[in-house]
Amino acid sequence: MAKVLVVYYSLYGHIHKLAEAIGEGASSVDGIKVSIKRVPETLSNDIIEKMGATDIQQKIKSTVSEVSLDDLTNADAIIFGTPTRFGNMCAQMKTFLDSTGSIWSRGELFGKVGSVFVSSNTQHGGQESTILTFLPYLFHQGMIVVGLPYLFKGQTIMSEISGCSPYGASCVAGENSSRNVSQNEIAGAFFQGKYVALITKDISNNREKYFKTLVSLNN
Ligand SMILES: Cc1cc2nc3c(=O)[nH]c(=O)nc-3n(C[C@H](O)[C@H](O)[C@H](O)COP(=O)(O)O)c2cc1C
């Protein structure tokens, strides 16, 4: 079985819903095992209460376990989900990524598939910049980057407001993050999960071969 890990942070639940759809898309491919994990929280309970997210946080924390460094090492693909914070990834995700230096130094994510999905309140509030500024992490880890191709037809709809771009699935959470994730956004997330899983299934068996061949070039 090739392993797809979905790892995310979600304060109000939108990324959580997209993560579930991504997981379903990946699970729909034979021979793929999916796990969904969350990055550790960095905000105090007091701040979370002030942000009006206590209930949803309790739900997420009681159903989704925290990611470990071993989860990353053991996966064949990692799909990262983050809400936009001022056009970039959230601090919780960045703090977690900054804890992965030991993995980088051993080349443990080399040749694994990496992909990103996001959400923002507003249509033009930084979904694409959040993914684009996430990508250097994937490249530094030597990952194979996969987005959401225009093969996903929901990408071009004009009949409703929708997230999703060639860079990855996304949702527009609306004012005060009060809008539900739309069916089209869920479909984009499912598509991305399936696309990552299909690619992962094909390449994961050869990762060690590439790694050894390339490392030997240094000798
Ligand atoms: C500190 C902060 C900064 C944010 N910055 C942006 C932003 O730059 N653009 C935007 O459209 N939404 C912004 N938002 C809204 C979040 O992106 C939105 O709440 C999130 O995408 C909802 O996803 P979630 O339900 O998974 O937490 C911000 C929210 C917070 C708390």
Convert the pLDDT of each residue in 47-72 to its tens digit. 999 999 999 999 999 999 999 999 99
Q: Is the pLDDT of residue 205 over 90?
A: no
The residue whose CB lies within 8 Å of the most ligand 1 atoms, and thus the one to mutate among 51, 84, 134, is: 84
Spell out the alpha helix ranges (H) of the chain: 14-27, 45-50, 54-63, 69-74, 91-97, 101-105, 127-132, 135-140, 183-203, 207-216
Alpha carbon of 171 to ligand 1 centroid (Å): 11
pLDDT at 156: 96
Alpha carbon of 101 to ligand 1 centroid (Å): 27
> Could you give the angle at which helices 14-27 and 183-203 cross, rounded to 10 degrees?
50
pLDDT at 207: 85
Angle CA(31)–CA(73)–CA(77) in degrees, nearest 5? 40
CATH code (residue 196) = 3.40.50.360
Distance CA 54, CA 48 (A): 6
Contact 7, 95 (CB under 8 A): no
Question: 146 in ligand 1 pocket by Cβ < 6 Å?
Answer: no
The values of phi and psi at residue 121, to 5°, are: -70, -40
Convert the pLDDT of each residue in 90-125 to its tens digit. 999 999 999 999 999 999 999 999 999 999 999 999
Quote the domain boundaries for residue 37.
2-216
- In sign, the C-alpha dihedral spanning 211, 195, 36, 60 is positive
Question: 184 in ligand 1 pocket by Cβ < 6 Å?
Answer: no
Please state the atom number of ligand 1 nearest to the C-alpha of residue 11. 27
Convert the pLDDT of each residue in 160-179 to its tens digit. 999 999 999 999 999 999 99
Nearest-CA residue for ligand 1 atom 9 is 125
The values of phi and psi at residue 214, to 5°, are: -75, -40
Please state the atom number of ligand 1 nearest to the C-alpha of residue 172. 21
How many folded domains does the chain comprise? 1
Angle CA(132)–CA(135)–CA(138) in degrees, nearest 5? 170
